[in-house]
Structure 1
Amino acid sequence: MLRTVSRLPLFKVIAALQLALLARRHLGALTPTERRRAAHLVRRARHLTPAERHELIDIASKLEPRAFAGAVADRMSPVPLPRRVTGRGSQSKTARSR
């Protein structure tokens, strides 16, 4: 695996790490119990009961998928994106670089 990473251009490695950090921030919204339960439900995704599907949707909604998608788009875009896409208010450039 190290060979694969070493052959990637540095900007792609940095982008992958930024995405991982964004995902970690959103996963932090879940309790450890919710993370374990979500992992269990995702593993069984093809054989879920309707109640389990609703439970998975409830857990996923806590991750704020729209905000995550907006943050990813904002992070990867070479130009500033409109606030309606990113879901953020007006912030300084230093806050954007986090």
Structure 2
Amino acid sequence: MKFMVLKTLWLLFLLMPATAAMGQNVDWKTTVGEAVDTLQQYLRFNTTNPPGNVTEAAGFLQNLLEGEGIAVTRYEAAPGKINLAA
């Protein structure tokens, strides 16, 4: 899960030039600050394996995505073992 957040931040970094090219004025200091804050919140969840319970972390990410209007499908292979598809 933590890898997915890092991947998301990497994607944000890659999209920065495209956003600027579209003529949008972006407050990058605020945007990066929000991204770092979100990552720090996520990293506070204990997903240590074993037991590998990611329920709270998955819920956090699901709420974050849905709050941005992104549809999320939740798959639970076993108790505490959750994958999200968005």
TM-score (norm 1): 0.32
More helix by share: 1
Q: Indicate the structure (1 or 2) with the bigger Cα radius of gyration.
A: 1
More strand by share: 2
Structure with bigger RCO (C-alpha 8 Å, 6+ apart): 1
TM-score (norm 2): 0.35
